[in-house]
Amino acid sequence: MTSSSVAAVILAAGKGTRMKSDRHKVLHAVGGRAMVGHVVAAVAPLAPARRVLVVGDKREQLEGLLPDWQVAVQDPPQGTGHAVMAAAPMLDGFAGDVLVLFGDTPLIPTRTLEAMVAARRAGDHAVVVLGFRPGDPGGYGRLVLAPDGSLDRIVEVKDATADERAIDLCNSGAMVFDGARLGALLDALDRNNAAGEYYLTDTVAAARARGWTAGVAEAASDDVLGVNSRADLALVERVFQARARARAMAEGATLVDPETVYFAHDTELGRDVTVGPQVVFGPGVRIADGVTVEAFCHLEGVTVERGATVGPFARLRPGSHLGAGARVGNFVELKKATLGPGAKANHLSYIGDAEVGAGANIGAGTITCNYDGIAKHATVIGADAFIGSNSALVAPVQVGAGAIVGAGSVITRDVGADDLAVARGQQTNHEGRAARLRRRKQGDKKQRA
Ligand code: UD1
Ligand code: CA
């Protein structure tokens, strides 16, 4: 598909009332990405020459979100046809294929969009509609076919007869138009229908009336699930996750209990990665070959290199990087922290704004005190350094390569390479004193009795 041949219009001007949300509907996330982001990503490989986002209600939340997209304002919304009219000035003079998509239908695949464009071109149709056969056709518009199998018209449920309601082929909402004929079709729309709206779906009958043809491309139901409510959002998320799990396994990862592993839209797992139960991947995670992520981990914005081990019960926050063979164990939190190859933080630590050299060992309970209440500061730990258990490293601070920090230290000054630092209260032992104390207390007790 040549780059100048397709334009994309995404509709997102509806009110989304049933979400009961202050957030714009298309900004609700699926797989850690706003729904509208999924639609944008699906259409991107077609390299649309013009890109228009139609906004209305809560538009301030969308403006500026997609810098490469022009924004058309439709206010107040008067139907899907009216929404495309709002985009028309930005399509002026465009004679390629115009894809119209819904911002709340995030799972639509690129190959389906390509198939729609191909079908429109093959039949030289004025418009091709993406149909599907849902289990329950409910409120969807019904596709009425002509005897030759082409599309005759679309009837909205509100306007349908009982016979028309019995049709199981439904309108997904996605359509592709011949840009050269779109203007004439929009001009033909009116509001003489049950909803009193400009129906985009009426462009089909308008095309037939002009002697042009319309066609149908068919999608799998799961590909065109639309979101109107939180329950729909959860359903779409479930479909997204099922696909992500299947893909991860197909690409050579072991998911011990797939149903309990949650992926983001951009999670990358290498070969022979093992993921235990109850693991959540937020956006921006890349896991190299041979890594093990044990049960109950949460990762976001991190890269884990070959052969490293994470968890169980680890939290890796954005900006973290685990080198090859590094180990992060239970109840360890990393934030903007780099662990060099083979470095270890196996138990109960917070490591933030830190660089840990190759082979270094971070003892149980070590905390980088990165925040002084005003600003964040860095901790740098050299290769093969050893940080004793329960140490506090008060940043900004550096511990040199090969240095040792004694357990329980509060380190406030830099430690040189190969030095030993101990920063804790001196221990004093009092010979026999415990026994004497005990005897005295027992004497007191007898006196009181
Ligand atoms: C629409 C279709 C219906 C189809 C269904 C699929 C029409 C007339 N009906 O119905 O045949 O089966 O989608 O889900 O097209 N929008 C605007 N401006 C508006 C109205 C809507 O931008 O004035 C946007 C919405 O934000 C949404 C999309 O268009 O992204 C669909 O709108 P919605 O009101 O949900 O359409 P349906 O009534 O469900
Ligand atoms: Ca809808």
pLDDT at 3: 42
Structure tokens at 41: 């990503």
Using the mean position of ligand 1's atoms as its centre, give its distance from the Cα of residue 92 in Å.
23
Tokens 């439904």 correspond to 170
For residue 65, the CA-to-ligand 1 centroid distance in Å is 22
In ligand 1, which atom is closest to the CA atom of 16? Answer: 26
How far apart are the CA of 77 and the centre of ligand 1, in A? Answer: 10
Which is the closest atom of ligand 1 to the Cα of 228? 35
| Distance from residue 79's CA to the centre of ligand 1 (Å) | 7
Q: Is the backbone peptide bond immediately before 312 cis, with ω within 30 degrees of 0?
A: yes
Tokens of 383: 């290769």
Distance between CA atoms of residues 379 and 237, nearest Å = 39
Q: Alpha-carbon distance 449 to 445, whole Å?
A: 6
CA distances from 224 to 65, 184, 227, 407 (A): 24, 28, 10, 58
Instruction: Give the contacts of 356 (CB within 8 A, at least 6 positions apart).
Output: 337, 338, 339, 340, 343, 345, 362, 381
Which protein residue's CA is at the shortest distance from atom 13 of ligand 1? 173
Q: What are the pocket residues of ligand 1 if the criterion is a CB atom closer than 6 Å to any ligand atom? A: 11-14, 54, 74, 77-80, 82-83, 102-104, 140-141, 154, 156, 170-173, 199-201, 226
Q: Which residue has the tokens 């679309």?
A: 154
> From the CA of 130, which ligand is nearest?
1
Question: Of the listed 28, 38, 265, 347, which one is catalytic?
Answer: 347
Q: Whose CA is nearest to atom 12 of ligand 1?
A: 140
Q: Are 411 and 390 in contact (CB under 8 A)?
A: no
As a three-state string, the secondary structure of 151-187 is: EEEEECHHHCCHHHHCCCCEEEEEEEEEHHHHHHHHH
Query: Separation of 10 CA from ligand 2 center, angstroms?
Result: 14
Ligand nearest to the CA of 101: 1
CA geometry: angle at 217 spanning 146 and 245, to 5°? 150
Atom of ligand 1 nearest to the CA of 141: 11
- Smallest-distance ligand from the CA of 140: 1
Indicate if 347 belongs to the active site: yes
Hey, what long-range contacts does 366-373 have (CB within 8 A, 24 or more apart)?
366/390, 366/391, 366/392, 366/393, 367/391, 367/392, 367/393, 368/337, 368/393, 368/395, 369/393, 369/394, 369/395, 370/395
pLDDT computed for residue 446 by the predictor: 84
Query: Which ligand 1 atom minimizes the distance to the CA of 11?
Result: 22
By most ligand atoms within 8 Å of CB, the mutation choice from 80, 143, 185 for ligand 1 is 80
What would the two tokens of residue 238 be?
């479930």
Ligand that comes closest to the CA of residue 225: 1
Backbone torsions φ then ψ of 355, nearest 5 degrees: -125, 125
> What are the average pLDDT values for consecutive 10-residue runs of the chain, which has 449 residues?
78 94 98 98 98 96 95 95 98 97 98 98 98 94 96 97 97 98 98 96 98 98 97 98 98 98 98 98 98 98 98 98 98 98 98 98 98 96 98 98 98 98 97 96 86
| pLDDT confidence of residue 4 | 54
Q: Report the SS3 class of residue 247.
A: helix
Q: From the alpha carbon of 171, which atom of ligand 1 is closest?
A: 12
Which pLDDT score is estimated for 169? 98
